[in-house]
Each structure stands twice: as C-alpha cells, then as structure tokens.
Amino acid sequence: MRPLTAVDAKAMAVIHAKSFERGWPELDMAVHINRDLCFGLGDPLISFVILSVVDDQAEILTIATHPDHRGTGQGTTLLRGAMSRLASRGVQTLFLEVAEDNVAAQSLYRRAGFDAIGRRPGYYRREKGRVAALTFSKRLDAAK
C-alpha cells in the first residue's frame, strides 16, 4: 500500500468513474490528495481509498478497485492496511456509508469487522431514484 500523490489523481478519477454512477473528476481527486489520507495499490493504480480524519475519528470517503481487478483481494488489503495506519496514528473509530444495495462492499466491510449502526433513507441519488445508505463503524485496535 502506498500514499497517493498528485500524479495519481487522473488514475483515481478513471477508476472512480468506472465504479460509481457519479464519478469524481481529477480535480476533486487532487483536492482529496492534499486534504485527506489517500492510499493505493499498484503502479499503475488498480485500487484506492480516501479517508477523512478528524481527531480520533475517521471516515472512508470512497474506496474503489478497477473492475478488471475486483474479487482478487485488493479491497481487503487496502482496507486492512488503512485501518492499521489509522490505528497507529491514534484513530479509534472508523465510519463509512454504503449503499443498501451494494452487496460486494458490505461483504468487504463485514468481513473486516465493521457493524451496521444506522440507516439513512434516500441518502444516495441515482438515475433511477434514491437508495438508502447503511452506516457502518468499527473500533480500531491501537495495538495493531
């Protein structure tokens, strides 16, 4: 796992556009690289995660793997690596929102030890209507 830099912004935008109905442009990725924690796998990039950290809490803003590489453990490696880095800098709780119909992502999070703690109706706007979000959280082990 490597920290991402400005040169990765374009590849992040490409993967994100292939992963979500509403892609985030390269310029937005450059802002995240400056403001948040961004980690990735592969060079060229095949998977990345963006994390926002405030005090002892963090949030996964997005995580995505290039469609050609899904189901090969990239997301799991990235998530576990990110949790370890966050724990070692004192973050105690990690949150995220996931669409209620996103089975793959929920499987990833549950297997990594996240629990669903809430539901936010209509959180995501899609072309075909709104979809609820599930809020997941996990306490991070400072020993890791």
Ligand X SMILES: CC(C)(COP(=O)(O)OP(=O)(O)OC[C@H]1O[C@@H](n2cnc3c(N)ncnc32)[C@H](O)[C@@H]1OP(=O)(O)O)[C@@H](O)C(=O)NCCC(=O)NCCS
- Residue 50 in the binding site for ligand X (CB under 6 A): no
Nearer to ligand X, 49 or 87 (CB): 49
The DSSP code sequence of the chain is -EE--GGGHHHHHHHHHHHSSSPPPHHHHHHHHHHSEEEEETTTT-EEEEEEEETTEEEEEEEEE-GGGTTSSHHHHHHHHHHHHHHHTT--EEEEEEETT-HHHHHHHHHTT-EEEEEEEEEEEETTEEEEEEEEEEE--TT-
Per CB under 6 A, the list member of 14, 17, 19, 81 interacting with ligand X is 19
> Which residues are registered as beta bridge partners of 134?
98, 119
Nearer to ligand X, 9 or 108 (CB): 108
- Residue 105 in the binding site for ligand X (CB under 6 A): yes
- Residue 38 in the binding site for ligand X (CB under 6 A): no
- Residue 41 in the binding site for ligand X (CB under 6 A): no
Stretch that binds ligand X, among 6-14, 24-32, 68-76, 120-128 (CB under 6 A): 68-76
- Residue 82 in the binding site for ligand X (CB under 6 A): no
- Which residues contact ligand X by CB under 6 A? 19, 47, 63-65, 70-76, 98, 102-105, 107-108, 111
